[in-house]
Amino acid sequence: MAKYNTSVDEKWQKKWEETKLYKFDENNLDKKLYVLEMFSYPSGSKLHAGHWFNYGPVDSWARMKRMQGYNVFQPMGFDAFGLPAENFAIKTGIHPKDSTVQNIKTMEQQLKAMGAMFDWDHEIVTCNTDYYKWTQWLFLKLYEKGLAYRKKAPVNWCPSCNTVLANEQVLDGACERCDTEVTKKDLTQWFLKITDYADELLEKIDSLDWPEKTKSMQKHWIGKSTGAEVTFKVKDSDLSFDVFTTRVDTLFGVSYVVLAPENPLVDVLTSANHKEEVESYKAESKKQSDIERQSITREKTGVFTGSYAINPINGREIPIWIGDYVLSTYGTGAVMAVPAHDERDFAFATKYNLPIERVIEGGEELPYTEYGTMINSDEFNGLTSEEGKKAVVKKLESLGLGSEKTNYRLRDWLVSRQRYWGAPIPIIHCEHCGTVPVPEDQLPVVLPYDVEFTPDGKSPLAKSESFINTTCPKCGKPAKREADTLDTFVCSSWYYLRYADANNSEKAFDIEKINKMLPVDKYVGGPEHACMHLLYSRFITKALRDMGYLNFDEPFTSLTHQGLILGPDGQKMSKSKGNTISPDEYISQHGSDVFRMYLMFGFAYVEGGAWSDDGIKSVARFVDRMERVLDSAREAIEDNKSNKSTMDKNEKELNYWRHFAIKNVTSDSEILQFNTAIARLMELTNALSKYMNEEEKNLELLKATLTDFIKLVAPFAPHFAEEQWNLLYKSESNDNSYSVFNQKWPEFDSNALIKDEVEIAIQINGKIKSRINIPSGLTEDAIKEEALNNEEIKVFIEGKTVVKVIVIKGRLVNIVVK
Ligand code: ANZ
Ligand code: ZN
């Protein structure tokens, strides 16, 4: 009898492909289920355990859904533009296109070897012209709507590599590649106006079935803050500036103001004798990233400009300082400092000996940062902070020196990159006509192959004569193309739309089709994209909706983040630590189903954990055992001997475990709780094995149980189950013969579950490791035996010595091991 191994994998992968088993049925959209896993970028280091943990278990979930009658759409593709390929090219001289094409080939093969239900007819590769043509189209639509614009902005600059860096390439303030300190440089850049959608992005988030942590990260990133803008006049001058504050009730306690070093007023306000100090401070702060500047623990520093401002509420003169804890990119780039009631101001005032005056009564110690009652605030004394805020703003309004104001932390999305390996921005610059969008019928603007892409500070495309020189679509005179390319996050901000209509050569997608196919019903991927990809996609969906292309508001109805698979040492896998796990090796040894099942049984899906070779071995042993039991049951059915037709005690017990497994595998898998689902399959294996020892067997029940068993295991071990199904049904040429994935998912019979039973917890050294259901009324010894033979528990106690087993009847078993 063929033992399960990679040849079984290959056999069924071939057949699935030949018969196009997983082709999505576009004519049956009523029961469509769009299951999406974050696509990966093609990398030379191939599919790692993390990819597998994302794709394998979700594929299992999707398979169950398919068997439950859903028309599952599960596409796959590649996020193929971007820095990894370009950096690899710079290091090795291999053109990004060549390495990308090669890597995609390898990864496609690996993905196919996984045996997932991907519908490859909908594959997309973002660096292919038939995809990025439409990324460019998207950019033009945004431009048309005023949602794409150009402005001068400070960007990360590496003086050694001579290039702009994406934020993600700045690690602790240094260049990821050469470790040189990153500075800021002002460059004219393209932005997408995500801030137009700040309110909706915030409001709608609560309606989403997303992890709470991710929702709150997005909320924080959007950072809505309500307060007031207050105008301070500069003493002996016509100048004035605004500050943003959330605590206008503390206005009487302002003892100085601080401007961000980049604030354009600084140069005007700095008096001659402070010039030198201010200039050197400004130069120093240029080197700091915004993240460092906001760090709570970092020492607050600043210098005095020599000028004074007037507090609008009481006319007091206060010094104007600059300090890098004030960001130029938030609020107005200026703050009123209230040392008695703000941590940072308190630290600053203490350091520079500036006055600290309490204006809010509350706790004893300063700084007191809570709300309280206003004191030392003239006519406002006695008001609560809430009342005071309103009253003070009202007064400021009457003076024309302030008003209510809402601020967002969210900034517009900077999408231009001075990089080669990306989609060219479809814009032409004409001396006469200015910024001219490339007409739609001239798309794609093709990324040329022959370009010197080693970074030297200028956009590589600017050096390609044949690319950069063109004619203006408006006036026909010579003009230049935009030389920057788009951030790869633009490519991935709409890929889930294109999948649904991947081969459309006329349009980005067909409106009618896409509105039936979307939103994505289940999206699974890493949490690191919380404030980038997941936010950008929401924005693009809303923007396209407002242009009339989509009739839904949110792209991803339900989102799950899988956990992280760590190295055997419990550390994050990395090549330098030498603790990476190569899926390919394990798969060739055990078969892809064992690899997948270990990932699903050995870890809680949303938690992940450390890889264990012992763990995968024990799953391999389980699959072995399961195969032996299924084989022997099938052989008994084929032999057709010692048959009986009654349902006696043993039949009832087998039938119980059969339906118990159906019930719980279904409900646990539904919520992606695969480890406990597989534990139920282990129990069913035991029950079946036990029944196989009976002389007389009810073969009808046996076949029904076997049938359900194979269906239940099919999502978790697809090749294995397809083989088992084929062995059981190949002689019958009916609907059952191929494939198990065309079968109906079993339903449990609640009558079969009526049994006097109790749930008990099994502990190991006092820690709960599993819960099992056992018949009530078992003897203490029988309970012990159940606990020690539990598959989940066996894994934990293997190789250890059981010192003692304590049974508390009806509640728990505690196994003490050494
Ligand atoms: C005076 C004050 C008194 C403040 C007090 C707080 C407590 P959120 O909630 O994040 O919006 N602030 C304003 N603009 C800033 C900038 N560009 N860089 C750094 N800090 C800035 O924070 C708003 C508060 O952060 C504002 O309220 C301001 O300090 C500071 F007892 O104004 B507050
Ligand atoms: Zn022109």
Annotate 254-271 with three-state secondary structure: CCEEEECCCCCHHHHHCC
777: DSSP letter? T
Neighbours of 477 (CB within 10 A): 11
pLDDT of residue 453: 83
Is 476 part of a structural domain of the chain?
Answer: no
Residues 363 and 238 in one domain: yes
pLDDT of residue 167: 66
Query: Mean pLDDT for the chain?
Result: 92
**Residue to mutate (ligand 1; options 246, 254, 369; most atoms within 8 A of CB):** 246
Is 671 part of a structural domain of the chain?
Answer: yes
**What pLDDT digit, counting tens, does each position of 687-718 carry?**
999 999 999 999 999 999 999 999 999 999 99
**Where residue 642 sits, what CATH number does that domain have?**
1.10.730.10
Strand partners, 155: 185
Residue whose CA lies nearest to ligand 1 atom number 19: 326
Q: Count up the domains in the chain and report the number.
A: 3
pLDDT of residue 756: 65
User: Token digits for 445?
Assistant: 């603007």
Nearest ligand, measured from the Cα of 430 = 2
Kindly report which listed range (64-73, 102-111, 623-632) carries the lowest average pLDDT score.
Answer: 102-111
pLDDT of residue 1: 44
HSE toward the beta carbon, residue 157, CA cutoff 13 A? 15
Residues 728 and 777 in one domain: no
Residue whose CA lies nearest to ligand 1 atom number 14: 331
**What pLDDT digit, counting tens, does each position of 758-812 carry?**
888 999 998 888 888 887 778 888 888 888 888 888 888 888 899 999 998 778 8
Residue whose CA lies nearest to ligand 1 atom number 5: 342
CA separation for the pair 682, 486 (Å, rounded): 50
pLDDT at 470 over 80: yes
**Where residue 251 sits, what CATH number does that domain have?**
3.90.740.10
**Residue to mutate (ligand 1; options 219, 220, 247, 407; most atoms within 8 A of CB):** 247
Nearest ligand, measured from the Cα of 410 = 1
Nearest ligand, measured from the Cα of 220 = 1
Radius of gyration of the chain (CA): 33
**What pLDDT digit, counting tens, does each position of 242-293 carry?**
999 999 999 999 999 999 999 999 999 999 999 999 999 999 988 777 777 8
Task: State which ligand 1 atom lies nearest to the alpha carbon of 360.
Answer: 31
pLDDT at 387 over 80: yes
Is 810 part of a structural domain of the chain?
Answer: yes
Exposure of 645 by Cβ count < 10 A (0-12 exposed, 13-18 middle, 19+ buried)? exposed
Residue whose CA lies nearest to ligand 1 atom number 8: 225
Of residues 789, 793, 785, 799, the one with CA closest to residue 763: 793
Percent of all residues in the chain with a pLDDT value above 90, rounded to a whole number: 75
Q: Confidence class of residue 14 from pLDDT cuts 50, 70 and 90?
A: very high
Task: State which ligand 1 atom lies nearest to the alpha carbon of 341.
Answer: 31
Residue list for the binding site? 575
Residues 232 and 376 in one domain: yes
Chain position carrying tokens 């706790």 = 363
Residues 724 and 783 in one domain: no
Residue whose CA lies nearest to ligand 1 atom number 22: 246
Nearest ligand, measured from the Cα of 475 = 2
Kindly report which listed range (33-47, 424-438, 693-707) carries the lowest average pLDDT score.
Answer: 33-47
Task: State which ligand 1 atom lies nearest to the alpha carbon of 260.
Answer: 17
Task: State which ligand 1 atom lies nearest to the alpha carbon of 225.
Answer: 11
Mean pLDDT of 622-632: 97
Cβ distance 111 to 55 under 8 Å? yes
Q: Output the CA 531–ligand 1 centroid distance in Å.
A: 22
Q: Output the CA 335–ligand 1 centroid distance in Å.
A: 6
Residue whose CA lies nearest to ligand 1 atom number 9: 225
Residues 629 and 746 in one domain: yes
Mean pLDDT of 450-479: 91
**What pLDDT digit, counting tens, does each position of 198-207 carry?**
999 999 999 9
Residue list for the binding site for ATP? 575
Residues 366 and 332 in one domain: yes
Q: Output the CA 143–ligand 2 centroid distance in Å.
A: 18
Q: Output the CA 479–ligand 2 centroid distance in Å.
A: 7
Last residue of a domain, one of 354, 375, 407: 407
Is 710 part of a structural domain of the chain?
Answer: yes
Task: State which ligand 1 atom lies nearest to the alpha carbon of 246.
Answer: 27
pLDDT of residue 419: 87
Amino acid at 181: E
Residues 795 and 690 in one domain: no
Kindly report which listed range (259-268, 476-485, 721-730, 732-741) carries the lowest average pLDDT score.
Answer: 732-741
Residues 690 and 716 in one domain: yes
Last residue of a domain, one of 407, 426, 458: 407
Task: State which ligand 1 atom lies nearest to the alpha carbon of 333.
Answer: 17
Q: Output the CA 457–ligand 2 centroid distance in Å.
A: 27
pLDDT of residue 330: 87
pLDDT of residue 90: 81
pLDDT of residue 163: 72
Nearest ligand, measured from the Cα of 260 = 1
CA separation for the pair 346, 349 (Å, rounded): 5
pLDDT at 168 over 70: no
Chain position carrying tokens 């710079």 = 90
Residues 649 and 775 in one domain: no
pLDDT at 156 over 60: yes
Cβ distance 796 to 764 under 8 Å? yes
Residues 644 and 790 in one domain: no
**Residue to mutate (ligand 1; options 342, 346, 409; most atoms within 8 A of CB):** 342
How does DSSP assign 660-716, residue by residue?
HHHHHHHHHHHTT-HHHHHHHHHHHHHHHHHHHT-SSB-HHHHHHHHHHHHHHHTTT
pLDDT at 515 over 90: yes
Is 457 part of a structural domain of the chain?
Answer: no
Residue whose CA lies nearest to ligand 1 atom number 31: 341
**What pLDDT digit, counting tens, does each position of 659-676 carry?**
999 999 999 999 999 999
The structure's pTM equals: 0.84
Neighbours of 635 (CB within 10 A): 12
**Where residue 795 sits, what CATH number does that domain have?**
3.10.20.590
Mean pLDDT of 218-230: 94
Q: Which helix (H) or strand (E) holds 812?
A: strand 812-817
pLDDT of residue 778: 81
Strand partners, 434: 430
Residue whose CA lies nearest to ligand 1 atom number 20: 326
Kindly report which listed range (60-69, 168-177, 527-536, 700-709) carries the lowest average pLDDT score.
Answer: 168-177
CA separation for the pair 671, 57 (Å, rounded): 12
Chain position carrying tokens 């006092």 = 766
Domain ranges, residue 660: 615-753
Of residues 486, 512, 518, 522, the one with CA closest to residue 499: 518
Cβ-based neighbours of 547, under 8 Å, separated by 6 or more: 141, 145
Is 11 part of a structural domain of the chain?
Answer: no
Residues 805 and 689 in one domain: no
CA separation for the pair 212, 205 (Å, rounded): 10
Residues 799 and 655 in one domain: no
Nearest ligand, measured from the Cα of 437 = 2
Is 118 part of a structural domain of the chain?
Answer: no
Cβ distance 422 to 482 under 8 Å? no
pLDDT at 2 over 60: no
pLDDT of residue 235: 96
**Between 628 and 454, whose confidence is greater?**
628
Last residue of a domain, one of 734, 753, 772: 753
Q: Output the CA 599–ligand 1 centroid distance in Å.
A: 47
Is 160 part of a structural domain of the chain?
Answer: no
Q: Output the CA 325–ligand 1 centroid distance in Å.
A: 10
Q: Confidence class of residue 575 from pLDDT cuts 50, 70 and 90?
A: confident
Residue whose CA lies nearest to ligand 1 atom number 32: 245
CA separation for the pair 715, 722 (Å, rounded): 10
**What pLDDT digit, counting tens, does each position of 124-139 carry?**
999 999 999 999 999 9
Residue whose CA lies nearest to ligand 1 atom number 27: 245
Task: State which ligand 1 atom lies nearest to the alpha carbon of 329.
Answer: 17
The ligand 1 site (C-beta within 6 Å) comprises: 225, 244-247, 250, 260, 326-327, 330-331, 333, 335-336, 338, 341-342, 407
